[in-house]
Amino acid sequence: MKLRSQLLIGISAVMVVALIGLGIGVFSVLQMAREQRQSTHYHYSLLTITQEMRKAIGSQMTLNFGTPQELANVATLRQDFARQLQQANALVRTRYDRQLVNTIAQAHDDYLQEYYSLLRADPEQIFARQTLNTAYLNVRNPIIELQEHAITSLAETEQDNRERAVLIASLLGLVGCGVLLIGFLTAHGFARRFSGVIERLAQAADQIGQGDFNLDLPHSPTAELSALISRFGLMGEALRQSKENNVEALLGGQLRLQALLDSIDDGLLVIDRQGLLEHANPVAQRQLAWSPSLLGRAPGDVLNAPMLDEAVQRVLDNQPVEGLQEDLAIQAEGELRLLSWRLSAVSHADGRTIGAVLVLRDVTEQRAFERVRNEFVLRASHELRTPLTGIHMAFGLLHERLHVAPDSRESELLRTINEEMRRMLQLINDLLNFSRYQSGQQQPQLALSDPGELLENAYQRFASQADERNITLQLDLHPPLPWLQLDRLQIDRVLDNLIDNALRHTPSGEHIRLQARQHGKQLIISIEDSGEGIPYSQQERIFEPFVQIGHRQGSVGLGLALCKEIVRMHGGRLGVHSRPGQGAVFFLVLPLS
C-alpha cells in the first residue's frame, strides 16, 4: 500500500471517531437545552396560573365581607378563577398535576355550593360558619400543593440536567481519550514503520558525507520509500563513480602541475594561507640546498629575510608589495647566491586568496656581469668625456675664428660636426648617469614636494611645443594630492622625457593628458598620448638600455631606462599600458611613505 493511502486511512479513522463523539455531544447538549427550556416554561407557566388562582380565591373571600358594591365584583372573580382553572387543566401534562387540578376544581365547586346554601339559610351569619372556611381551605391547599410540586419538579429537572451535563462531558472526555489513543497508536505505527528506514537512510547519508560509498540500504514495503531507497542507491553509485573520476582527474592535474613546476627554470616556493612553505620545485631545492625539514616554516625564516614574511602577509591580505625588491643573499653549499624574487597571490574562483607563489631567480652571475659592465661603462665614459670635452671646446674656438658664409657648404659641415659632438657628449653623460644609478653611486636628494606643482610646471614647459604641433595638452589633477619626499630635478627629468616622447608620437590634432591621483597608499602620475601605440611584445623591452621602438635621430635608447632607474630609486615603479593604434599610457607609481 502506498504511503499516501496509509496516511489517509489512519487520519480518516481518527477524524471519524472524533466527529462521531462530537456529533453525540452536540446532539445531547441541544436535546438537553430543549428539554430544559420546555420544563422551565411549563413550570413557570403553572406557577403563574396557580398564583393567579390563589389571588382570585383570596379576593373572593375578602370581597364577601365588603359592601354591596364590592359584592358585585365577586361574580367577575369567579369567572376569572374558572378561566384560570381551565388554563391549568389545559396546561398540566402529568397525572399528579392533573389530579391536583381536578381536586381544585371539585373543591371550588364545593366551596360555591356551601357559600350559596349558607347564603339562602342565614345571610347574616354566613361568614361565621366554620364550614365555609373549611371549603375555602379545601380550595387553597391543593393550589399551594400544586405550586410546591411545580417548584420541586423545576429543581428536580435542573438537577437532572446537571447530571446529564456531567454525563455528556464524561462521554466527550472518553471520546477525546479514544481519539488520542487512536491517534497515538496510528502515529506510533507510522513511526515504527518509517523511522527505522529513515534512520538507515540518514546513516547512509553520513557514510556518503565521509566518502564511504559501500552502502547497506534498508527495504520497505511502502512504494514511496522503496522508490526513495532505490534512487538513494543510484545516487550513491553515481557519487562513487564521480569521486573516482574526480580523483583521477585531480591526480592527473596534480601530475601535470608537478611536471610544469619542475620544468620551470626559476625556483618556485608554494606558500599556504597561513604563510608557511608548502612545496618547492627542484630548481628552488637546488638554489636553497633544500632539506625536507624546511617545509612548514615561514619563507623569511628559511631565506633569512624577515622582510619577506611581511611581503607574504601583504600579498595574502590582497595588498601590493611596496618598496624595492632587493635581491636575497643566500649562503648555500659554501657559496653566496643572489636571488631576485617576485610574489604572486593564488586566488580561488570566488576571489578569495588561498595562498601565494614565490618565484626565485638566481642572478648571481647576472649581477656580477652588471657590476663589471657598469664599472666598464663608468670608466669608459670618464675616459671619453675628458678628451671629447676638450675637442668640443677647441672646435668652438675654431668655429669662432673661421669666417665662412652662412649658406656655404663649409658652414653646413661645421653645424653637423657641432651637433654630432653634442650628441656624443649627451650619450656619454647619459651613460655616466645610468651607471651611477645602477651602481648606487647617485642617490636622490629628497625634499618634501608637491606633485601637483611638478605637473603644472611640466605642463608650462611643454605648452608652447604642443601648440606648435597642434596638439592639445591637458592637465587633470584629482585633489587632494599628498606631498611626497622627492628629488625634484630627477622627477622633472622623468616627466620631461615622458612628455617629450608623447609629443613625438602623437599626431597633429590629437591630445595628451597629464593626470595625478591618489590610490590607497600610492600616488599615480600618468601621461596618456594618442599615438600609434606600442606592441605588447615590446612593452617590457622599451625600459631596457639601448632599445628603441621606431627611429629617432640623436637617440640611443637610454631615456626610458634612466627614467625607470630614477623611479626605482624613489621606491616606485614605471610601467606602460598600450594597444597598437590606441595610444599609450605611461604611469609612475610612487609610495606615500
CB-based burial, 404-413: b 16+ in 10 Å, e otherwise: eeeeeeeeee
Domain contains 521: yes
Task: Estimate the share of the chain in helix, then strand, then coil, as percent rounded to the nearest 5.
Answer: 65, 15, 20
Q: What is the pLDDT of residue 463?
A: 92
Query: Could you read off the pLDDT tens digit of each residue along the chain, which spans 593 residues?
Result: 565 666 667 677 767 777 787 777 777 778 777 877 887 888 788 888 888 888 877 777 766 654 454 555 667 777 778 888 888 888 888 888 888 888 888 888 887 777 777 666 665 555 556 777 787 788 888 888 888 888 888 888 888 878 878 887 887 788 778 778 877 777 777 667 667 777 777 777 777 777 776 777 777 766 666 777 777 777 777 777 777 777 777 777 767 766 666 667 678 788 888 888 888 887 877 777 777 777 888 888 877 788 888 888 888 887 766 655 677 887 777 778 888 888 888 877 777 788 888 888 887 877 777 677 667 766 766 677 778 777 878 877 877 777 777 788 877 888 888 888 877 777 777 777 777 776 666 678 888 999 999 999 999 999 999 999 999 999 999 988 999 999 898 899 899 999 998 998 899 889 999 999 998 888 999 999 988 888 887 877 788 776 666 544 445 567 888 888 888 888 888 999 988 888 899 999 998 86
CATH at 435:
1.10.287.130
CATH at 344:
3.30.450.20
Domain contains 194: no
Domain contains 529: yes
- Burial-class residue 183 by CB neighbours within 10 Å (0-12, 13-18, 19+): middle
> Do 319 and 413 belong together in one domain?
no
Contact 363, 338 (CB under 8 A): yes
Domain end marker among 415, 439, 463: 439
Domain contains 550: yes
Q: Which domain does 508 fall in, by range?
A: 447-591
Domain contains 36: yes
> Do 170 and 34 belong together in one domain?
yes
> Do 24 and 66 belong together in one domain?
yes
> Do 417 and 288 belong together in one domain?
no
> Do 241 and 271 belong together in one domain?
no
Cα–Cα distance measured from residue 520 to residue 321, given in angstroms and rounded to the nearest whole number? 13
Q: Concatenated DSSP letters for 233-293?
A: HHHHHHHHHHHHHHHHHHHHHHHHHHHHHHH-SSEEEEE-TTS-EEEE-HHHHHHTT--GG
> Do 20 and 125 belong together in one domain?
yes
> Do 22 and 158 belong together in one domain?
yes
Q: Which pTM does this prediction carry?
A: 0.45
331: which strand partners? 336
> Do 424 and 467 belong together in one domain?
no
> Do 345 and 389 belong together in one domain?
no
Domain contains 195: no
> Do 403 and 489 belong together in one domain?
no
> Do 343 and 404 belong together in one domain?
no
> Do 34 and 155 belong together in one domain?
yes
Domain contains 508: yes
Could you tell me which residues come within 8 angstroms of residue 105 by beta carbon, excluding any fewer than 6 positions away?
Answer: 85, 89
Q: What is the pLDDT of residue 512?
A: 93
What total number of domains does the chain contain?
5
Domain end marker among 381, 414, 439: 439
522-528 vs 584-591, strand pairing mode: antiparallel
Block residue for cell numbers 636628494: 445
